[in-house]
Structure 1
Amino acid sequence: MLSVEAIIERLGGAAEAARLAGVGTEAIRKWRQARAVPPKHWTAILSNSDLSIADLSPASSASASSQPLQEPSSMTDLAHQRPDGADAVLVLADGTVLWGRGFGAHTDGARSLGEICFSTGMSGYQETLTDPSFAGQIITFTFPHIGNVGTTGEDDEAINVAARGLVVKQDLTEPSNWRSAQTLGAWLAARSIPGICGVDTRALTRRIRDNGPQTGLISFPADGRFDIPALLDAARGWPGLEGMDLARVVSCTQSYRWREGTWTGGTGPASTPDETAKRVVAVDYGAKRNILRCLVQAGCDVTVVPATATAEEILAHKPDGVFLSNGPGDPAATAEYAVPAIRGVLDAGKPVFGICLGHQLLGLALGAKTYKLEQGHRGANQPVKDLATGRVEITSQNHGFAVDDKTLPADVVVTHTSLFDGSNEGIRSTRLPAFSVQYHPEASPGPSDSFYLFERFVALMNNDICSI
């Protein structure tokens, strides 16, 4: 194999190399940074130069350790072609086999099995991994520098890691952050979560984008032994998220009071509800801590109850309003016990505010239907339009299901819509004091364009009907 510099020189310099490969000069800079030419450019280079496959093929050396070991290929091509240096594998139900390097926890006899999804967020990987809405999913980060801020217990969105595995392109970056208490790899290992790097995450993301959600698994055995056909059978045997109720799995098991507000000036969460605070019952379908902090910051005294709480149990707390949290799984499955409770709260005239799964469940309680999205929305850069004001908010999102606009009853109106695919992002009832959004206005990680929604909920509890 020639060095990248030698390849560029043989092609006539950076500008000519870019022209022959059909790429921009930025791609040539990335070749140099990676110390390798990505296989997707080989065909163009071989067709327009005297270089050979042997010149371009990377040797099994540590110099390319941060690069993808391969792009997605079919099982028939790669089932038994384990590259040098590979000690972990990602297997998809469609037969795709992706070799890489493992980190975090060894899977040993167990496997990390779930739905492969991708997140476009460029920050907050720890918050993403601990978001309960990722239960049953293996996360692929499209941003390459994962691990650079380390981990700290202050950034966990829940007690446990909800995601089943992590897929990244490059080796985990060493932390460079004064708040870091542990590297991401050690943090994952302590929580029995495996990861795999050296995967072409761009190609994997395109596969999910074009073909829809895929079941997959990560195998990172301590003994380095792989049974690819058995792994493929396991991936194909997983039922998928549709029809799966995961809210009761990640929910709290008993009620508790939440008193922390949002972070201020880097000094940690502050604020304790006073006697003027509105009493809010938050139904925990997989609630993120920062949502609870935002409720407190907006002027709420928050009591959290389990996902399975009945209307009677919720109303026994004498709330001024009820919040329906985010969470994982199929809303139609969770609706079996959640919708009767929500309808009871609505019948009692209590103001209701929902986020993410809570939004979908409110939609179901009001008479709409939900459906599974082909790709889902996950990341911190999703544009949403407020139809009343025309304002565009850059939002943080994590969902694979949506409310079907076409099934909304006449007394429920659409308030927000996605500028990516036009799917529903918000509703409100014209008859009842209830509204919800699909995205995450607490935004950790993410922008803070949408905090006003928490203030709108408080205004609604103050009988300001015009607030929604």
Structure 2
Amino acid sequence: MKYQSRKKALILLADGTIFYGKSVGDKEGTAFGEVCFNTGMTGYQEIFTDPSYFGQLMVTTNAHIGNYGTNSEEVESDSIKVAGLICRNFSYEYSRPVADASLEEFLNKNGLFAISDVDTRALVSYIRDNGAMNAVISTRVNDIDGLKKELKEVPSMEGLELASKVSTKEPYYFGDEDAAYRISALDIGIKKNILRNLAKRGAYIKVFPYNASFEDLSAWNPDAYFISNGPGDPEPLSEAIATAKEIIKTDKPLFGICLGHQIIALANSVSTYKMHNGHRGINHPILNLLTGKGEITSQNHGFAINREETEANDNLEITHVHLNDKTVAGIRMKNRDVFSVQYHPEASPGPHDADYLFDDFFRLIEKTTKQTAEV
């Protein structure tokens, strides 16, 4: 054991339930957020840097975390976005040749408080039964009353706008400026691997802040539009919804992922709701209703779109469903080149069953640009 004097720590849930563990390293600390769990066996570094996880205390269901270290290239944003880490066994040593630091060093560099030695099976089982809720992790094990008081002041994820916390402040470019196509992307928490997937298929992307207007995005004269993933409740994002409505009025393709999927649904008058637990992991089964094929997918969302309203909407078609709970996992518009999915086809670190969706997007772009050139 690297640290002999690790501090006692606890997880206090909003309903008063307490689980115990120990601090990672010998640090004291406290962190607040919505507690959730991810069922992936790998990819912890990508998870921790995914903007969609902003403000959440992450419980990793895999028993060992940190055993393959970290690599500076395997990040989805410029910093850690989770509020805190909860795990069973934390590995201070690592044995991966391409790693350039331990997970402990990575967490320390980014100022993230973490606790281990937690009965994560019991904790995840409790969350499954009682739903995701706010929580606090802390070494202040003798100040439970004080922690309860502070925890009550933490806002609920329902109704919480978080895109502004993770979006770019100024527009920027990604890819080769001589690429065949130009895409305007609305950043409401975009992952780097999404940009990589767009760029490697021949796109030059201009990334805009979460509150950019349609006029901002269209002034660049793009061939298509993209709305990204991101954290928080979609319904407060009135500016993004208004922008999506204007994009839909054009004849140019639009693709949305995760939070972007929910924004496109809201732009079509389909409501969203907070899920009991959400879907988080890299092993979620999806059925593609258009092909009849199954997909194993990467997911990270705590909100979903209303299935009944989607089925009743004359302009929408459900294209994908989650096989565990039959929630809507993908839609497309019948009269526009607009489609979206609730999961992550860029899937860093994997799986890659759904990366064909980027190819579908580019086929629409190619078709639209050819039609425009022929006019």
Which TM-score band applies after superposition, normalised by the shorter structure?
A: over 0.9
Choose the corresponding residue for 2:353, options 449, 456, 460.
Answer: 449
Residue 445 of structure 1 deviates from its aligned partner by 2.1
Q: Distance in 1 between matches of 2:355 and 2:33?
A: 32
Q: Distance in 2 between matches of 1:246 and 1:389?
A: 35
TM-score, normalised to structure 1, is 0.75
What does 1:356-367 correspond to in 2, within 5 Å?
A: 356-367=258-269
2:103 counterpart residue number = 184
1:12 counterpart residue number = none
| Larger helix percent | 1
Unaligned runs of 5+ in 1: 1-61, 67-83, 260-271
What does 1:62-461 correspond to in 2, within 5 Å?
A: 86-103=7-24, 106=27, 108=29, 111-220=30-139, 226-259=142-175, 272=176, 274-275=178-179, 277-334=180-237, 336-408=238-310, 409-461=313-365
What does 1:45-64 correspond to in 2, within 5 Å?
A: none
Q: Distance in 2 between matches of 1:126 and 1:429?
A: 35
* Structure 2 contact 252–368 (Cα < 8 Å) conserved: no
* Structure 1 contact 105–188 (Cα < 8 Å) conserved: no
Unaligned runs of 5+ in 2: 370-375
Q: Distance in 1 between matches of 2:65 and 2:58?
A: 12
* Structure 1 contact 351–460 (Cα < 8 Å) conserved: yes
Residue 371 of structure 1 deviates from its aligned partner by 0.6
1:41 counterpart residue number = none
Secondary structure (helix, strand or coil) at the match of 1:90 reads strand
TM-score, normalised to structure 2, is 0.93
1:78 counterpart residue number = none
Amino acid across the alignment from 2:215:
E
Residue 106 of structure 1 deviates from its aligned partner by 4.2
* Structure 2 contact 88–117 (Cα < 8 Å) conserved: yes
Counting aligned pairs with the same residue, the percent is: 42
- Per-residue CA deviations over 1:116-158 (Å, capped at 9, x if unaligned) read 0000011110000000000110000000121011112201100
Q: Distance in 1 between matches of 2:244 and 2:26?
A: 40
* Structure 1 contact 167–199 (Cα < 8 Å) conserved: yes
Q: Residues 107, 244 of structure 1: CA spacing in aligned structure 2 closer, same or farther, 3 A cutoff?
A: farther
Q: Distance in 1 between matches of 2:230 and 2:206?
A: 17
Tell me which of the two structures has the higher relative contact order, counting C-alpha pairs closer than 8 angstroms and 6 or more residues apart.
2
Q: Distance in 2 between matches of 1:248 and 1:382?
A: 28
Aligned residues: 366
Report which of the two structures shows the higher radius of gyration computed on alpha carbons: 1
| Larger strand percent | 2
* Structure 2 contact 23–114 (Cα < 8 Å) conserved: yes
Secondary structure (helix, strand or coil) at the match of 1:435 reads strand
* Structure 1 contact 104–186 (Cα < 8 Å) conserved: no
Secondary structure (helix, strand or coil) at the match of 1:333 reads coil
Q: Distance in 2 between matches of 1:303 and 1:106?
A: 41
Q: Distance in 2 between matches of 1:85 and 1:136?
A: 25
